[in-house]
Amino acid sequence: MPVRTSPAVMAFPKSAALDALADGIMATNTGTPTEPPTVVYVNDAVCEMTGYAREELLGRSPGILQGPATDQVVIARLRADLDAGRSFAGQTVNYRKDGSAFLMEWSIAAIDDEDGRPAYFVAVQRDATVPAFRLMRAEHDARTDALTGLPNRAHVDEILDSGSWLSTRVHSAIVVDVDHFKAINDQHGHLVGDEVLRLMARRLTASVRGGDLVARWGGEEFCVLMIGDRNDPSVLGARIVTAVADTEFETSAGPLTVTVSAGSASATTELDRAVDILRAADEALFRAKRSGRNRAEHAS
């Protein structure tokens, strides 16, 4: 383990270039065997990022930026890397002066003195909150139906194809189709059709258990993946049909009577995969539509 040297071994090489960088630059001494490193330099970007004035950071431990959500495993790795003479790169939650959290990416390397021993640790810091938020938003948008706010077909396919724990917990499925949806669009316009789809999403969500997944399957079709136990989906399918038909949909064109057809299926020895259960439910839906609509059918 490198011996930590005195904070005054050499003057930290400040420069106008460091002050002008968009990324935050923080330098600390290496501390002593009994004292932690303290900040000897920060550029303007660090002050903007953290809300601290330069004078509030100089002479303080960089731990001033840590808080409840700071990942101490990452901090321990930072210390281990620097003590072993390695550079460090990582990401964790830090805190501004006002207490607000932000996601910080940073890398740290040592500046050696003339004897080749570490004299300073220099960290390049970046507020990754906005890029991370944008990435999470993009991932969310890719999996979410923009009209209804429900998970979309791509999300359902991802769940079913992943072999994840969730996919193995799907024991029943229901596919729901809005009856005569084209007629709604033709008579009242597509904006009213969109209203019906949004209201349908709410009604379906209100009809299922909290742990079940409701998704927009495509067009005027929705699906329900029943998670966990093996409750009879035919009961829920019939309840959905009734819940939709019994209460009119309040739209900008006035109250509309809307009905749905539903098909359901449950896991069996032959239907032991979620994709197969869903396919069987879709076939049951076709029978419900062929039999007159506004009804539910269960896969035999």
Domain ranges of the chain: 16-132, 144-298
Q: Any idea which of 32-41, 160-169, 268-277 has the lowest mean pLDDT?
A: 160-169
pLDDT at residue 249 is higher than 90: yes
Query: 195, 220, 221, 297: which is the annotated catalytic residue?
Result: 220
Q: Which one-letter DSSP state was computed for residue 288?
A: H
Confidence of residue 2 (pLDDT cuts 50, 70, 90): very low
pLDDT number for residue 67: 92
CATH level 3 topology of 16-132? Beta-Lactamase (3.30.450)
CATH level 3 topology of 144-298? Alpha-Beta Plaits (3.30.70)
The stretch 51-62 carries a mean pLDDT of 94
pLDDT at residue 230 is higher than 60: no
Of 119, 34, 24, give the one whose Cα is nearest residue 65: 24
Cβ atoms of 109 and 159 within 8 Å: the answer is no
- Segment 128-136 long-range contacts (CB within 8 Å, at least 24 positions apart): 128/91, 128/102, 128/103, 128/104, 129/102, 129/103, 132/103
Average pLDDT, the chain: 87
pLDDT at residue 5 is higher than 50: no
Q: Which one-letter DSSP state was computed for residue 151?
A: B
Q: Is 220 a catalytic residue?
A: yes
Q: Any idea which of 41-45, 61-65, 154-158 has the lowest mean pLDDT?
A: 154-158
Model confidence pTM above 0.75:
no
Q: Which one-letter DSSP state was computed for residue 271?
A: -
Q: Report the amino acid identity of residue 188.
A: H
Q: Any idea which of 10-24, 163-177, 241-255 has the lowest mean pLDDT?
A: 10-24
Cβ atoms of 243 and 203 within 8 Å: the answer is yes
Structural tokens at position 232: 């009879």
Separation between Cα atoms, residue 25 and residue 46, nearest integer Å? 6
